[in-house]
């Protein structure tokens, strides 16, 4: 595999521009998989393509790696165009490392030989030092002579990472790297992997369907739907300031309630069943056009952490479902109108299903969408 010098910090390391990919099947016709995919990663950043099965995220990764040719658009790594309808650089010449979903370790080779596999272009005398450095980097300095079947899933994942990093790729691609691990290990390993990549200064791109993995690992996340990115942003902004209803549906828990905007004395308010709330920060696209709507009708997104359990509040809601999460309960609550919302409540407030509890709203910004989006609970 060709190696490229790492891009200077702050420069563009990976650029995907208007990427289109369609697969042609004579019996079933043409299936468009990528439809105008576009994003970029700066040197040293960790990005993630997040979406449900069938959204195109794996095809995007394979196109960047060089396993799929695009029908339109371009992939640039550093200053080189590595893929377009006219330009093509073979996968092994792109300076890209890949960690596959099943790790793809060679079962007949020990750990040291697996890590050294991508170092065949280096002098044989240099390889042991590089292998030792990579195993030290991933926290496995003492297992060089073990074989893959002697390792846990987490250890195999680290060895696969060491093998991918050994040739010093300019971009590291990770294809659902935690999917074969127990759920309780995934977030912890994602945080550890982030620390390793940051310490090594590696630019990386992850694809996953798990938002908790994405949030633990990535600096920038692109929520994908139907072959394109709905929003490319920080995890914080995706959760608190989703740009589209699709992003709000996919990222995090929440409920959508009907509301009505009012503009008074230069200020904007939204009227909900929970009360009248001032809008201090406007984070959506619907509000700008809402003034043209004579009734000012909107759909308001409420996250569980926006709804506070308060025994002194006159507004009551019925507990219709509860899920114990250790330090917290996730309550599904029903308002008098029948609308439902979600609330995270400290677990020492252990209320029974059917009980009515006091609630109030507390958030520093309001996110609204057009009323055509409807009002329903999501992610419960």
CA distances from 351 to 29, 307, 310, 347 (A): 55, 16, 13, 9
Q: What would the two tokens of residue 193 be?
A: 């992997």
Run of H or E residues at 132: helix 127-137
Tokens encoding 224: 């994908």
Residue tagged 């696969």 (tokens): 160
- Taking the CA atoms of 188, 192, 193 and 195 in sequence, report the sign of the dihedral they define: positive
Look at residue 289 and tell me whether its pLDDT is greater than 50.
no
Question: What integer is the mean pLDDT of 172-181?
Answer: 86
In this predicted model, what pLDDT tens digit does every residue of 96-127 receive, in sequence order? 999 988 878 999 999 999 999 989 888 889 99
**Left if phi > 0, otherwise alpha if psi is -120 to 50, otherwise beta: which for 253?**
beta
pLDDT of residue 145: 95
Q: What percent of the chain has pLDDT over 70?
A: 89
CA 98 to centroid of chain Cα atoms:
18
Position 328 pLDDT exceeds 50:
yes
Angle at CA 245, nearest 5°, toward 235 and 59? 65
SS (H, E, C) 150-167: HCCHHHHHHHHHHHHHCC
pTM given for the model: 0.86
Longest CA–CA span in the chain (Å) reads: 76
Q: What is the DSSP letter of 119?
A: G
Tokens 């093509």 belong to: 88
Query: What pLDDT was estimated at residue 128?
Result: 93
pLDDT higher than threshold 60 for residue 86: yes
∠ CA 170-173-176, rounded to 5°: 165
Token pair 């329903």 is found at 376
Q: CA 238 to CA 223: how far, in whole Å?
A: 9
Q: How many residues does the chain have?
A: 380
The answer to whether residues 175 and 143 touch, using CB atoms and an 8 Å cutoff, is no
Which residue has better confidence, 95 or 183?
A: 95
**Which ranges in the chain are annotated with CATH 3.40.50.300?**
12-95+169-245
* Average pLDDT of the residues in 273-277: 81
Taking Cα atoms as reference points, which of 192, 375, 378 lies closest to residue 298? 375
In this prediction, residues 82-107 reach a mean pLDDT of 91
**Matching residue, tokens 């371009």:** 74
Angle at 338 between CA 293 and CA 360, to 5 degrees: 80
Task: Over range 342-367, report the average pLDDT.
Answer: 89
pLDDT surpassing 50 at residue 294: no
DSSP 56-106: SHHHHHHHHHTSS--SEEEEEETTEEEESSS-B--GGGTTEEEE-TT----
Cα torsion 344, 347, 350, 353: sign: positive
Q: 367 or 250, which is more confident? A: 250
Q: For 115, how many CA atoms within 13 A lie in the half-sphere containing its CB?
A: 33
Q: What is the pLDDT of residue 1?
A: 47
- Residue 379 pLDDT grade (very low, low, confident, very high; cuts 50, 70, 90): very low
Fold of 12-95+169-245: Rossmann fold (3.40.50)
| Vertex 11: Cα angle to 8 and 15 (nearest 5) | 125
pLDDT reported for residue 146? 96
Predicted confidence at residue 281, as pLDDT, reads 53
C-alpha closest to that of 78 among 62, 65, 94: 94
The torsion angles phi and psi of 343, rounded to 5 degrees, stand at: -145, 135
User: Nearest CA to 238 among 11, 51, 15?
Assistant: 51
Predicted confidence (pLDDT) at residue 378 exceeds the cutoff of 90: no
Instruction: Name the residue with higher pLDDT: 129 or 187.
Output: 129
For residues 158-183, average pLDDT: 88
| pLDDT value, residue 377 | 39
Which of 3-12, 86-95, 236-245 shows the lowest per-residue confidence on average (mean pLDDT)? 3-12
Q: What integer pLDDT is reported at residue 272 of this predicted model?
A: 86
- Look over the chain and give the mean of its residue pLDDT values, rounded to a whole number: 87
pLDDT tens by residue, 49-68: 999 999 999 999 999 999 99
Phi-psi region of 219 (alpha: psi -120 to 50; beta: other; left: phi over 0): alpha
Give domain 253-378's CATH superfamily.
Nucleic acid-binding proteins (2.40.50.140)
Reading the block at residue 269, the tokens are: 């308010």
Residues 18-31, mean pLDDT to the nearest whole number: 84
CATH 2.40.50.140 segments of the chain: 253-378
Question: pLDDT at residue 283 above 70?
Answer: no
C-alpha closest to that of 61 among 188, 213, 223, 173: 173
């Amino acid at each position: 595999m060709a190696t490229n010098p790492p891009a200077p910090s702050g420069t563009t390391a990976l650029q995907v521009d208007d990427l289109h990919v369609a697969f042609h099947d004579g019996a079933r016709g043409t299936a468009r998989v990528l439809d105008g995919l576009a994003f970029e990663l700066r040197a040293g950043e960790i990005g993630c393509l997040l979406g449900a099965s069938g959204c195109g995220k794996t095809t995007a990764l394979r196109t960047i790696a060089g396993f799929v040719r695009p029908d339109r658009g371009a992939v640039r790594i550093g200053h080189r165009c590595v893929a377009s309808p006219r330009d093509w650089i073979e996968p092994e010449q792109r300076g890209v490392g890949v960690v596959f979903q099943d790790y793809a370790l060679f079962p007949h080779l020990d750990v040291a030989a697996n890590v050294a596999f991508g170092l065949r272009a280096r002098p044989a005398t240099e390889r042991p030092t590089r292998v030792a450095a990579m195993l030290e980097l991933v926290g496995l300095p003492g297992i060089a002579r073990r074989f893959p079947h002697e390792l846990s899933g987490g250890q195999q994942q680290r060895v696969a990472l060491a093998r991918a990093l050994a040739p010093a790729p300019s971009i590291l691609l990770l294809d659902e790297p935690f999917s074969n691990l127990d759920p309780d290990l995934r977030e912890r390993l994602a945080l550890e992997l982030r620390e390793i990549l940051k310490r090594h200064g590696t630019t990386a791109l992850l694809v996953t369907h798990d938002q908790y993995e994405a949030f633990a690992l990535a600096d920038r996340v692109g929520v994908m739907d139907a072959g394109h990115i709905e929003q490319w942003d920080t995890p914080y902004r995706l959760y608190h300031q989703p740009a589209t209803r699709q992003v709000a549906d996919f990222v995090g828990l929440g409920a959508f309630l009907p509301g009505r905007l009012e503009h008074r004395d230069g200020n904007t308010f939204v009227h909900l069943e929970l009360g009248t709330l001032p809008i201090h920060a406007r984070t959506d696209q619907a509000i700008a056009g809402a003034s043209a709507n004579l009734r000012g009708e909107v759909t308001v997104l409420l996250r569980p952490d926006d709804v506070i359990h308060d025994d002194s509040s006159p507004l009551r809601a019925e507990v219709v479902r509860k899920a114990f999460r250790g330090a917290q309960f996730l309550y599904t609550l029903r308002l008098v109108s029948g609308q439902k919302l979600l609330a995270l409540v400290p677990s020492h407030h252990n209320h029974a299903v059917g009980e009515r509890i006091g609630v109030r709203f507390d958030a520093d910004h309001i996110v609204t969408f057009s009323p055509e989006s409807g009002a329903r609970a999501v992610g419960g």
